[in-house]
Amino acid sequence: MTEKAEKYKLHRGLYDLLKGITQPGMMKMMADWLGAVFSAVDEGKPILFNQFTVFSELMVALDIVPLPPELWQSSQLNVDANACCESIDAAEEAGIHPELCSANKAIIGDIMLDKIPPPSMVVLPTFPCDNSKITYQAVAHLTGAPTYFLDCPYWMDEGEAMDYWVNQYKGLISFLEKHSEKKLDYDRLKEVAEESNRCLDYWLEGLELLKLKPLPLNGPFASGYLAGLTALGTPAATEAVKASLDELRSRVDKGETAVPEEKTRVIWFYYPVFWDAGLGDWMAQMGAVTASGLVGYFNVEPIDTSTPESTIRGLARRALDTPMGRQGRGASDLWIDDCLRAVEEWKGDCVILAGHPGCKWLMGCYGLFRDIARERGIPVLLWDVDLFDPRPCSGEESRARIEPFLNTIMAR
């Protein structure tokens, strides 16, 4: 085996598993993304680390390969639940404080252990958390990659704040042009933004269909988010999200439902427990379906592509509404109001919140939310589980917490 093939073995194995898929959809989209990353690695092309709230349109327009490191982490957990542990431990042993979010420790450890392709550029906004901000500084320090922070105002309710944010986006374009040595073609950007509009229309329609009761398919409807991080603005991403939507539409037309008897609807307003892929199915077997989750909560206007200025403004506006980006860029009210809206619009009977220990800002929101939910009679389960590391709370322990909660809700 060559040295190249030895590197990133787990992800190359995942790619080998998926690359034969020809049907458009989530799996093919994942294979296409991994394939593009490995081509870039093998051919020495630039790779851009886009933090998990940065969508891909500008990269597509400039033909730069996006590699969201959090997706690199979570995708391998489908193959091996313990896949992040070695890198988490390596980061801690090197002196990274253990309280840092495990996703972030895994990214730093991956760089140290050469388990992720090194970036040529790094881009992130100043949201949603301090963990992310300090982690990408460490990434820049370890790799020497030039890094661009999109500085987001705390309050976006004034025109000047939006103008400031749009200027941050213009600065990002200059940064990408400089470090990729490419010039952005605004006709190409218009095409990409229009393709992105088409794709996100399909995503939004899928989210609407999950408001049906009984639920046609267990949610959340996440294909748009995967597209956003890897290929949004390409016809292939649009086709993939449309394929997920077509499946959903067909189930609705045939009257098919997620479970034979829907006993309760869960709002899971956070990321899934990435290493515990069977958890949603296990809940569904009890009759508990997930109608909405943070990765399937998105609401945005189309980008006006009439001028380059309006296109950039539309992209900047959209960047404020990505999952977790939307909720994590200011007061706790942003997350709380969206979660309450999800309960109302997706007709949730209860809310389940994974208490990921590194996510301190969100744990603070949870506490505030619990008081509001109590006043409104919304049952909430919050338990401690690490989304990237199965060691603090096992799958059995999670089920032991969730089962009695769901039984209580379903007995009401």
DSSP letter string over 39-106? HHHHHT--EEEE-TT--SHHHHHHT-EE--HHHHHHHHTTT-TTTTHHHHHHHHHTT--TTS-HHHHH
**Alpha helix locations (H) across 210-329?**
223-230, 235-254, 279-285, 308-319
End-to-end CA distance of the chain: 59
333-345 vs 360-376: helix crossing angle, rounded to 10: 50
Tell me how many residues contact ligand SF4 (CB under 6 A): 13
- Those residues with Cβ within 8 angstroms of residue 400's Cβ, 6 or more apart along the chain or in another chain: none
Site for ligand SF4 in 317-376 (CB under 6 A): 324, 328, 356, 358-359, 362
Nearest distance from C-beta of residue 360 to ligand SF4, angstroms: 7
Closest CA to 342 of 351, 332, 329: 351
**Alpha helix locations (H) across 144-182?**
159-180
Give the torsion sign (CA, 384, 388, 390, 391): negative
| CA dihedral of 327, 55, 151, 326, whole degrees rounded to 10 | -10
Q: Which is nearer to ligand SF4, 101 or 381 (CB)?
A: 101
106 binds ligand SF4, rule: CB under 6 A: no
Q: Which is nearer to ligand SF4, 32 or 389 (CB)?
A: 389
Nearest distance from C-beta of residue 97 to ligand SF4, angstroms: 13
- C-alpha to C-alpha distances, 297 to 72, 144, 244, 305, 331, nearest whole angstrom: 22, 35, 16, 24, 18
- Residue from 50, 73, 74, 131 touching ligand SF4 (CB under 6 A): that is 131
Lay out the site mask for ligand SF4 across 282-311 (x = CB under 6 A, - = otherwise): ------------------------------
37 binds ligand SF4, rule: CB under 6 A: no
- Residue from 101, 107, 210, 350 touching ligand SF4 (CB under 6 A): that is 101
Q: Which is nearer to ligand SF4, 57 or 389 (CB)?
A: 389
- Residue from 128, 219, 228, 390 touching ligand SF4 (CB under 6 A): that is 128
Nearest distance from C-beta of residue 75 to ligand SF4, angstroms: 16
Q: Which is nearer to ligand SF4, 129 or 289 (CB)?
A: 129
Q: Extract the tokens encoding 207.
A: 């989210």
Q: Which is nearer to ligand SF4, 318 or 356 (CB)?
A: 356
- Residue from 18, 81, 103, 226 touching ligand SF4 (CB under 6 A): that is 103
Contacts with ligand SF4 by CB under 6 A lie at 101, 103-104, 128-129, 131-132, 324, 328, 356, 358-359, 362
